[in-house]
Structure 1
Amino acid sequence: MKKILALLLMIPLLLGIITPPVHAKPLIDASAAVMVDASTGQVIYEQNAHKKLPIASISKLLTAVVIMDEVHSKQITGDTKVKVDSGIAAISNDPQYSVIGLQEGNAYTVRELLNASLVKSADGAALALAAAAGDSLDEFNMKLQQKAQEIGLKDYTIVNPVGLTNGDLKTLSIKQYSDQAENAMTATDVAILARYLVNHYPQLLQVTAQKQASFMITKGKAKTEKNLNEMLPGSKYTVPGVTIDGLKTGTSDTAGACFVSTGNYRGHRIITVVLHANGKNKDNRFIQTQRLYRMLKQDGHLQTITLPKDIRQQAVANGQTRQATISPQAVTVWNTGGQLHKYTLAVKMKEKYLNKTGQLEAPLHRNETVGELDLSSSQLKTLDGGPLTYKLLSTDNVVRGNFWQRLWH
């Protein structure tokens, strides 16, 4: 993230009364759950959200993020081919795992393997992705751990890119781990990971939104697989008014049935996490996710914050005009009753737009992100414990002035 310089602007405001935004009672039938606003990071609901639990194939979200990093840095492309060895083929064709049937000696593109990993949750495909940039499984695992730390995960264990136990990987197991070792995270960390994915690589939602996808396993032979997400539009567990387009299921003996969803409700991208839904019915993860969205529809109210003029109007140096209008697209918070009582606002501008005295400097372009607005309140909670953040945009074009204009301004 670009370095930003804080302007000294803290404004206390009083507006009424709010009830706590995070429910106190365990209303979700699962070991842990959390619901957040993907844009601001506001926690809308949480339950045992800091309890570390096995996550099974939810692990593939972290794998997808690292692969997208490698694509972004031009180490690989979507068309990079990965040749499948005997170890990966053995996992990919073992019926006790999530299989896609990759064949030993065949090569598959990164794009195909990402599709198989995120739609079918194919274990062999995730293992093959680890080798896309020429890494060993151990080396790719180090990348996963580094990425987890970089994006701010706090309490996690990363053993492999799949979510199986180390012993389940057979000949591919990593020697430093026991056979029982497996990936684990808190619901909060899973939400941080999902938020990072949807904000940095939203194009992956085009993959996870597919109700089914076709995979070319051998030349001339395609296989069509159904998405395991039963909350996509038109599926069994859809919620009216909420458009789900992701994200990932996870299932194992120790993790139970898990599900991370993301979707749009009232113009806001929401993320939910349900870890180890109780009972033998795997669909309970979708039922509990439904419950989260229904709670949001029933109890969640959006409060719009009106910004003071001294935030919206900022002085500009060396421009044809002396001021620019700065505004976020919208400043809203979720609450479950009443109005937000007390909060502070802080404006932070990106250093590249400031002169040596800390003032905005022309030129500025309309709809350019010039900084952020931070909203803090003891009555609100975020994933990382920091303030709610909103992008600040320049709503004006401010042209750099000529010599005389700059002299007198």
Structure 2
Amino acid sequence: MINLISKRLLVAVLVIFTIISIVPKQVKAEESLNVMAEAAILVDATSGKILYEKNAGKPLGVASMTKMMTEYLLLEAIAKEQVTWDQQYKVTDYAYQISQDMRLSNVPFREEESYTIKEMYEAMAIFSANAATIGIAETLADTEAEFVELMNEKAKEMGLEDTIFVNSTGLSNSSLMGMHPKGTKESDENIMPARSVAKLTKILLDDYPEVLDTTKIPVKLFREGTVDETRMENWNSMLPGLIYEYEGMDGLKTGSTDFAGYSFAGTAKRQETRLIAVVMGAVDDRGKGSYKARFDATRDLFDYGFGKFTVEEVVPAGHQIKGQETLNVEKGVEKEVAIATKEPLTMMIRTADKDQYQLEIILDNKLVKNDSLEATVDKDLVVGAVELTKADGTDYGYLSGYKKQIKVVTTESIERASWFSLTLHSAEEFMSALWNDTSTFVKELF
């Protein structure tokens, strides 16, 4: 008997051990994704849906990813015809001195020489040339200090939270030879969270997609055919033909300083899907920051995004939510009106998670009172919206901070009842109530 109990106990222990050993293998992919960086975020570039994030709200050194804001302001000025690509910039002493610092990424400037906005832009976007960036800032706002004000104003306009710009390049102010912008300190740094970097990247791509025509260039010669000819190999080594190439990669901006570590805001497109990945403070498996580490981390994010996610039609057009197929209609020829989704709701999700999402209808409480509308009711009247809520696991939401919604509308029109019908209906209701009260009174007598 004792041996039998012991055997049963042993079997029970083995079963429990087996279950425990299996459970870790069932951990969701986003929980097991180990991005080797201080902060990271992966976003669907079309919708702004966040597919993964790690410390994405933590303000960190942004380094040369700062130049995306400089690029934005330049492209905006070009679009507004405030400057032109062939406009000449005459080198200031500040820009010249920075261009001679071989510790920094630069193309060589000559004193008193002039350079076109186009060649400085290419040097900035491809080679992260710092003096060229300063030249663009001085062109757009006379001084870099004034340009920094424009950068911070635009950051607020874009909704870039916890973002502070102190110079146009992303260099540490301490690297600017005492010439850092007026109003900033030598110890100041440009600061952004990964989520704000991703938002800036998306806005830049949305408003000026032509930026990719330049950022995808792997190698270009600055001032080709002159004594100043400089080979500019793109710092984005994930571009096709470069050492860490990745299929679909075409942008956008690397960054590294002692303060910020190794960072990268990358974007890649495969078929109809474009993703944005941001890594900040990337490290290798020994915990050491390196040039390669930021690309390894980015590759992990892109592999996860392209491999696990698809754009799914989660809700079709004309869909009715169970239990909320109709609204009551007051003073109408019909007592109810059918409601349904106006358009389909598509979203980038992990295919395995599709059944995890639940529909929630949010009625317009200014229009719908106590689940009722007052006639006349027009067809396609917007009465509310449907949004998705994930029942299990993590849903990171959108860069905008808002859930994606689709309109809920009436599927038919309901005319208002005539005065006679309304009067007759009121009389019927009165007589019905009176009859009920009389019946109750009589029953109580007996």
Structure 1 unaligned residues grouped into runs of 5+? 1-18, 312-325, 348-356, 361-372, 391-409
CA drift of 1:187 comes to 0.4
* Superposition TM-score, scaled by structure 1 size: 0.75
CA contact (8 A) 2:260 2:281 kept: yes
Give the direction of change, closer, same or farther, for the CA distance of 1:346–1:38 in structure 2 (3 Å limit).
farther
Deviation at 1:82?
1.1
2:199 is the alignment partner of 1:174: no
Contact conserved, 2:357 with 2:388, CA < 8 A, in 1? Answer: no
Q: Is the 8 A contact 1:32 1:276 kept in 2?
A: yes
Aligned-pair distance for 1:153?
Answer: 0.3
Amino acid paired to 1:343: L
Name the structure 2 match of 1:197.
204
- In 2, are the aligned partners of 1:22 and 1:44 still within 8 Å (CA)? no
* Matching of residues 351-366 of structure 1 within 5 Å: none
1:256 aligns with 2:261: yes
Corresponding residue SS for 1:309? coil
Within the alignment, does 1:90 sit opposite 2:106 as a pair?
no
Contact 2:261–2:281 (8 Å) recurs in 1: yes
Question: Would you say 1:119 and 2:126 are equivalent positions?
Answer: yes
- What displacement does 1:238 show? 2.9
For structure 2, the 5+ residue unaligned runs are 1-25, 321-341, 364-376, 407-446
2:37 aligned partner: 30
User: What corresponds to 2:291 in structure 1?
Assistant: 282
1:324-372: CA deviation from partner (whole Å, max 9, x where unpaired):
xx868x823222623152135899xxxxxxxxx9999xxxxxxxxxxxx
1:337-356 alignment, distance < 5 Å: 337-339=352-354, 340-343=356-359
User: Offset at 1:86?
Assistant: 1.4
Q: Could you tell me how far apart the structure 2 residues matched to 1:359 and 1:187 are? A: 44
Distance 1:243 1:130 in 2: 31
Choose 1 or 2 for highest CA Rg: 2
Query: Is this contact kept in 1: 2:264–2:280, CA < 8 A?
Result: yes
Given candidates 215, 218, 242, the residue that maps to 1:211 is: 218
Indicate which of 394, 399, 403 corresponds to 1:387. 403
Q: 1:295 aligns with which of 288, 304, 307?
A: 304
Q: CA deviation at 1:225?
A: 1.1
Partner amino acid, structure 1, of 2:282: A
Q: 1:331 aligns with which of 321, 324, 346?
A: 346
Q: TM-score, with normalisation over the residues of structure 2? A: 0.69
**1:375–1:387 Cα contact (<8 Å) kept:** yes
Offset, 1:25: 5.2
Q: What does residue 389 of structure 2 align with?
A: 377
CA contact 2:223–2:229 (8 Å) conserved in 1: yes
CA distance in 1, matches of 2:303, 2:225: 44
User: CA–CA distance in 2 between the matches of 1:164 and 1:337?
Assistant: 43
2-side partners of 1:304 and 1:237: how far apart? Answer: 34
User: Cα 1:374–1:271, aligned 2, differ >3 Å: closer, same or farther?
Assistant: farther
SS in 2 for 1:273: strand
Contact 1:21 1:334 in 2 (8 A): no
Conserved in 1, the CA contact under 8 Å of 2:123 and 2:222? yes
Contact 1:230 1:237 in 2 (8 A): yes
Instruction: State which of 133, 136, 145 in structure 1 corresponds to 2:140.
Output: 133
Q: Distance in 2 between matches of 1:151 and 1:26?
A: 30
Equivalent of 1:69, from 76, 86, 90? 76
Q: Label 1:112 to 1:44 Cα distance change in 2 as closer, same or farther (>3 A).
A: same
Measure the CA separation in 2 of the matches of 1:290 and 1:107: 40
Q: Could you tell me how far 1:202 is from its partner in structure 2?
A: 0.4
Pair 1:103 & 2:118 matched: no
Aligned to 1:400: none
Out of 246, 255, 270, the residue aligned to residue 251 of structure 2 is 246
Paired residues of 2:215 and 2:250 also in contact (CA < 8 A): yes
AA in 1 matched with 2:302: Y
Per-residue deviation, 1:220: 6.4
Tell me the amino acid that sits aligned with residue 377 of structure 1: T
Shift of 1:255: 0.8
Residue identity in the other structure for 2:119: E
Q: Which protein is richer in strand relative to its size?
A: 1
Name the stretch that deviates more: 380-389 or 34-43: 380-389
Structure 2 counterpart of 1:49: 56
1:308 to 300, 312, 317: 317
How far apart are residue 236 of structure 1 and its match? 2.6
Is the aligned partner of 1:234 residue 2:244? no
Counterpart code for 2:143: S
Give the letter for the 1:27 counterpart.
N
Q: Deviations over 1:42-75 (max 9, x none)?
A: 0001011111110111100011001111111211
**Preserved contact between residue 21 and residue 45 of structure 1 (Cα < 8 Å):** no
- Does the CA-based 8 Å contact 1:376-1:387 persist in structure 2? yes
Question: Retained in 2: the 8 A contact 1:256–1:277?
Answer: yes
Structure with the bigger percentage of helix: 2
Q: Distance in 1 between matches of 2:267 and 2:386?
A: 24
Given that residues 20 and 335 in structure 1 are in contact (C-alpha distance below 8 angstroms), is that contact kept between their aligned partners in structure 2?
no
Q: Report the alpha carbon displacement of residue 377 of structure 1 after superposing the two structures with TM.
A: 3.2
Greater alpha carbon shift after TM alignment, 154-163 vs 21-30: 21-30
Counterpart CA distance in 2 for 1:102 and 1:377 is 55
What letter matches 2:389 in structure 1? Answer: S
- Go from structure 1 to structure 2 and tell me whether the alpha carbon gap of 1:212 and 1:359 turns closer, same or farther (over 3 Å shift): farther
Task: Give matches, 1:12-27, under 5 Å.
Answer: 23-24=30-31, 27=34
Counterpart code for 2:254:
T
